[in-house]
Structure 1
Amino acid sequence: MLVQEGVELETPPPGLEREFHTLFSSEALQFLCELISTFQPEVDKVLKLRVLRKVQLDLTGELPGFLKDTAHLRNDPNWRVSPVPPRLRCRHVDIGDLSPCDTQRFIQGLKSTAQGLQVDFDDGNCPTYRNQIKGIYNVYLAVHNQYQDVLPISQAPVLMLRPRAWNMVEHNMMVNGREVPGSLFDFGLLMFHNAKLLLQNQSGPFFYLSKVESYMEARLWSQIFFWTEKKLGLPEGSIKATVLIECVLASFEMEEILYELKEHSAGLNCGIWDYSASFVNKFGHRTDFLLPDRSKYVDMEKRFLHSYMDLLVQTCHRRGALATGGMAALMLPRDKDCVLYKTVLRTVTRLKLLEIQAGVDGFMVYDMDLIDPMQKLFQLHSHGQNQLLQLRDDITVTPEDLLTMPAGGVTLYGLRYNIAVGVLFIEAWLSGRGHFFYLGKVEDSATAEISRSQVWQWIRHQVRLEDNGILVTRALVSSLAEDLMGEMKTAIVSQTSRDEQRLMTAVSMFLEIVQKNDFPEFLTTYLNLDHTFLSSQSLHDKGQMDGPPKARL
């Protein structure tokens, strides 16, 4: 334990002493402590405002709408965000869910033909101490051009750094007697060690901001950016950030979010699963917001989702900001000549073409083999570097458009699939991994959120399965989870007694979460505060569990 006045920092995990001492120099630690001391009270405030907003919605039964108090901002046609730097103007295809602690995949990304890398400390990453230190250090190596046979940072795909969201805490550092916000821990270290060099190379610092729920939260990030730029001697507006609109409440405040970040904005991003899960988070106890089987009835062509994307594109382009779409989670088979390869490619192409036609300026893929075909798709169907001139004046999106749930029911397949994804995500986290592969897709916290959200909601409303009319109950979900556990065991590579025990633990934790009376706001927060995960994290940090995501059937 490293202890100095007001600060306690855990000693490095075994084998990461060099990385630790590089990152936590006395100067870096002083900067980090000042950042946290200055803004931790403000982080507390935005989290309390979230709780207050949820209580207001529950007590009044009201629905969100476009804010009356900020109508003057939306009605003013003249303001724009600051122009983005040249390196952000053409980012048709980024690699998503790139957890930087996976050194091999990180280097592959740096060598790829993608235009950007979503360097993900959030959705696709499990925030063990080992993973955070290794991941931040790997970014340091890339920015300082210390990887062999990798293009210099000025020519490699641009790094879009995604720190943890407000809801996550870093257990291994305390300032003024409190564990620190994970977002500030990640952001502070990334900025201190890399910002000046990124700026000199016209390659950043660029960020993704996760799970922003209101313009007040965007305002806080703006204050953090201005403070950090002044502290590090950077010109104002050097930091650029893309805000992920992952909450239904934020979809009604997109213009206000852009306005608050207008000197620092790189645009907005839309993604299907975190956004869909937010409906259960905010309104899941209401029967009007029963979300049907996502495997059968929920996709970007449904009214509530295509309206959200249309509004995001229209809002961004109206204000001179870039609009980016979600990530293709499907994986291409190795055999390019097989029928499945062509089917997967055709599916991804169709879905991404919808986004291009909606006017997005770029999107993400997980599978690096999808980079080139998706680049070609953009070149064929878009309008040059970006689509900022596609203003989408042809559309008008109403609150009803954004809040109308799709029709449909629940299938046994969909229920089983959601249970499997939820359980396997928890099992991955207990192993120190932030994402995994299942049935030809990469799954991360976004898909785990929608999976466990739907199971909770279906139990809560006792929906009936389309297949046979059976009620979805706690007992049914428990039975299916037990059945699936046997199937999952065969899907885990290098099966050991520890693997079996971990899977059993994951099933128990999943059942506990979906059976709770009150809906846990974020699965990752719940896990990050749970004794079982913290115990497994300790093992991972000691090097007893490590490695990239294991293959899944």
Structure 2
Amino acid sequence: MDTTTDRSTTGRIRITATAEGQERVLTEHALAFLLQLHDRFEPTRQHLLQVRRQRRAAFADGADPGFRDETRRIREDASWRVAPPAPGLEDRRVEITGPIERKMTINALNSGAKVWLADCEDASSPLWRNVIASQVNLQDAIRERIAFTSQEGKEYRVTAEETPTIVVRPRGWHLDEHRILVDGVPMSGALVDFGLHLFHNADELVARGRGPYFYLPKLESHEEARLWNEVFVVAQRLLVLPQGTIRATVLIETITAAFEMEEILWELRDHAAGLNAGRWDYLFSIIKAFRLRGPAFVLPDRRSITMTQPFMRAYTEQLVRACHRRGAHAIGGMAAFVPNAKDREATERALAAVAADKAREAGDGFDGSWVAHPGLVETCREAFTAVLGDAPHQLARTRDDVPVDGAALIDLSTAEGSITEAGLRSNVEIGIRYCEAWLRGHGAVAIHSLMEDAATAEISRSQVWQWIANESETEDGRTITRERCEALVAALEHELERHEGDRFDEAIALFRETALEEAYPAFLTLAGTERYLGEGTRRPSTGSIPVQPAPEGSAPEAGERGFEDEALEAA
């Protein structure tokens, strides 16, 4: 079936896939809005992506990241602050994350968390049906009309009296949306996710006492934050929204961003809501940046790299200092454990570890933290309430005792732990199992009682690549070679539980390409999208996400709103 359609009145936009609910999302006015964003900001995005590649090459040649001299005045000026907390973002002591699947959306809204991070990025596979369903589900959740009935007949509805504030995480700057082409060029996935949510939901959110709020992933510099701020300013003008209506929390999940935290807040200051310690992507970024720098930059097993490691402590404490010095919230990292009712003893041990981790964050000055499962909400809340009490945050605790120490951020020699056979096997298994689920459309996957997403899969495959490249040894003295890892892949291949419609063959090929080949792809998800997902139309949908039409008599769609910019209306 030919799924190519021309949906733009200008004839410039081609949409090359179809999904249920698409007509509600890709309205003529919504596409015109996206076209405006694309035309204004795509050249800058491409330039910044080239800067990323140049910086990455410099690190491989021996350069170290550091604080930038040209922005010293921003760091040394103690007078400036970001905007005060926006409605619904004053108290963020527990935030739950997850993909915007219909059932999981309802579970998140019923979880009791203060904030729900509605994730279009690392917890979501970018199949076209997911891209569209995420926008449909956001529309319905915000308008309190979301419901879901499973194949077994179980009904899911929002029953909580108070639901979390919704904060949407769009895709990163590096990802294209290749199902929406402008003059044959893919749109930015980030602008598609951001633009569709803002266009359809901003007015409704404001009317309900909240606002369009975002988490910004994978930023590598304050220039990339500046681009987002320029997008916000233009988008608010086009949609006749007061400047500052949009608020954004930035994930500090790259080693370069760790050296530019205050500059990032400065660039976004009228729209800034805080910074988050994106611990898993941060580890991935460190491995990626220093993968060719020799044994001194090789890290031990992933599970031994806890937040108490000195270089991770330096990262989190300097993040709290930067945030509170500027009046911004500091949000802690992910608790990825998935409670298992069948193993009560293991669950109790894991909950105790989560409680200790959250107590450490609260004690360090964080204002809230993340969990990946509703069963962890209460544990996180208790840890932060023990420190915060009835106060919504601890912004007044500026952590002036924390030194601004760039050397501590990249001193990996202090990392404790070793590389084990079990750790190597785990990386291979997690990488392959996650890739298989991701290719079938699942971005958050429970593997051995841990919620794995794209960030943890990136760590797994990157560690394998780095260990091979540096001829690292496991603690038993055996060198990690490509042949040894291929043998582990072959052994796992025989142990996998195959089922109809699985994509293990492609997942193994993707893992080999990104972990075992000499060339190192910058992103697993980028390689996977380009080679295996294509336009999202090559394989039939298996178990498509149910989408319920808007009820009759509901509020008019955002496509009927007016525009300030006459050129946009004409488009």
Q: Name the TM tier (shorter chain).
A: over 0.9
Could you tell me how far apart the structure 2 residues matched to 1:248 and 1:344 are?
Answer: 29
Pairwise CA distance, 1:515: 2.2
Partner residue, 2:67: 66
2:189 counterpart of 1:182:
yes
Pairwise CA distance, 1:497: 4.6
Could you tell me how far apart the structure 2 residues matched to 1:31 and 1:352 are?
Answer: 41
Pairwise CA distance, 1:151: 6.5
Contact 1:279/1:289 (<8 A) preserved: no
Aligned AA (2:122): D
The 5 A counterparts of 1:81-120 are: 81-96=82-97, 98-100=98-100, 102-120=101-119
Partner residue, 1:484: 492
Could you tell me how far apart the structure 1 residues matched to 2:522 and 2:106 are?
Answer: 34
Contact 2:222/2:260 (<8 A) preserved: yes
Secondary structure of 1:538's partner? coil
2:541 counterpart of 1:543:
yes
Partner residue, 1:12: 18
Pairwise CA distance, 1:286: 0.4
Contact 2:87/2:210 (<8 A) preserved: no
Aligned AA (1:83): P
Partner residue, 1:492: none
Partner residue, 2:474: 465
TM-superposition CA deviations, 1:503-534 (whole Å, max 9, x none): 1331232122212223211111111111x332
Pairwise CA distance, 1:545: 5.0
Partner residue, 1:278: 285
TM-superposition CA deviations, 1:87-122 (whole Å, max 9, x none): 1010111111x111x211111111221111110000
Q: Closer, same or farther in 2 for the Cα pair 1:289/1:533, shift >3 Å? A: farther
Partner residue, 1:428: 437
Aligned AA (2:434): F
2:374 counterpart of 1:371:
no
Could you tell me how far apart the structure 2 residues matched to 1:408 and 1:120 are?
Answer: 32
Could you tell me how far apart the structure 2 residues matched to 1:277 and 1:159 are?
Answer: 27
Contact 2:309/2:416 (<8 A) preserved: no
Partner residue, 2:151: none
Could you tell me how far apart the structure 1 residues matched to 2:248 and 2:302 are?
Answer: 32
Could you tell me how far apart the structure 2 residues matched to 1:55 and 1:339 are?
Answer: 47
Q: 1:37 aligns with which of 31, 36, 39?
A: 39
Contact 2:358/2:384 (<8 A) preserved: no
Q: Closer, same or farther in 2 for the Cα pair 1:231/1:107, shift >3 Å? A: same
Mean Cα displacement is larger for which, 435-444 or 479-488?
479-488
Partner residue, 2:309: 302
Q: Closer, same or farther in 2 for the Cα pair 1:247/1:515, shift >3 Å? A: same
Aligned AA (1:109): A
Q: Closer, same or farther in 2 for the Cα pair 1:288/1:311, shift >3 Å? A: farther
TM-score normalised by the chain length of structure 1:
0.92
The 5 A counterparts of 1:367-516 are: 367-382=373-388, 384-405=391-412, 406-466=415-475, 468-489=476-497, 495-499=498-502, 502-516=503-517
Could you tell me how far apart the structure 1 residues matched to 2:75 and 2:224 are?
Answer: 18
TM-score normalised by the chain length of structure 2:
0.89
Aligned AA (2:349): T
Pairwise CA distance, 1:10: 2.7
Could you tell me how far apart the structure 1 residues matched to 2:304 and 2:22 are?
Answer: 47
Q: Closer, same or farther in 2 for the Cα pair 1:214/1:192, shift >3 Å? A: same
Contact 2:94/2:369 (<8 A) preserved: yes
Pairwise CA distance, 1:289: 4.8
2:270 counterpart of 1:267:
no
Pairwise CA distance, 1:227: 0.2
Could you tell me how far apart the structure 2 residues matched to 1:99 and 1:484 are?
Answer: 28
2:217 counterpart of 1:206:
no
Pairwise CA distance, 1:142: 1.2
Mean Cα displacement is larger for which, 67-76 or 282-291?
282-291
Could you tell me how far apart the structure 1 residues matched to 2:361 and 2:298 are?
Answer: 22
User: RMSD across aligned C-alpha pairs, in angstroms?
Assistant: 1.8
Mean Cα displacement is larger for which, 457-466 or 349-358?
349-358
In the alignment of these two chains, the number of paired residues is 528
Aligned AA (1:481): V
Unaligned stretches of 5+ residues in structure 2: 148-156, 547-571
Could you tell me how far apart the structure 2 residues matched to 1:368 and 1:297 are?
Answer: 25
Aligned AA (1:543): S
Mean Cα displacement is larger for which, 121-130 or 342-351?
342-351
Q: 2:255 aligns with which of 244, 248, 254?
A: 248
Partner residue, 2:136: 137
Aligned AA (2:542): Q
Secondary structure of 2:219's partner? coil
Aligned AA (1:116): V
Could you tell me how far apart the structure 2 residues matched to 1:117 and 1:534 are?
Answer: 30
Pairwise CA distance, 1:407: 4.0
Question: Runs in 1 of length 4+ with deviation above 4 angstroms?
Answer: 545-548
2:136 counterpart of 1:146:
no
Partner residue, 2:519: 518
Contact 2:301/2:424 (<8 A) preserved: no
Q: Closer, same or farther in 2 for the Cα pair 1:504/1:176, shift >3 Å? A: closer
Contact 1:459/1:473 (<8 A) preserved: yes
Contact 1:94/1:116 (<8 A) preserved: yes
Partner residue, 2:170: 163
Mean Cα displacement is larger for which, 283-292 or 386-395?
283-292
Percent of pairs with identical residues: 35
TM-superposition CA deviations, 1:337-362 (whole Å, max 9, x none): x3222111111111111111111111
Q: Closer, same or farther in 2 for the Cα pair 1:524/1:296, shift >3 Å? A: closer
Could you tell me how far apart the structure 2 residues matched to 1:22 and 1:533 are?
Answer: 24
TM-superposition CA deviations, 1:191-220 (whole Å, max 9, x none): 100011112222120000000000000000
Contact 1:283/1:289 (<8 A) preserved: no
Could you tell me how far apart the structure 2 residues matched to 1:161 and 1:450 are?
Answer: 24
Contact 1:244/1:268 (<8 A) preserved: yes
Secondary structure of 1:279's partner? helix
TM-superposition CA deviations, 1:248-267 (whole Å, max 9, x none): 01100000000000000011
Contact 1:95/1:117 (<8 A) preserved: yes
Unaligned stretches of 5+ residues in structure 1: 490-494, 549-553
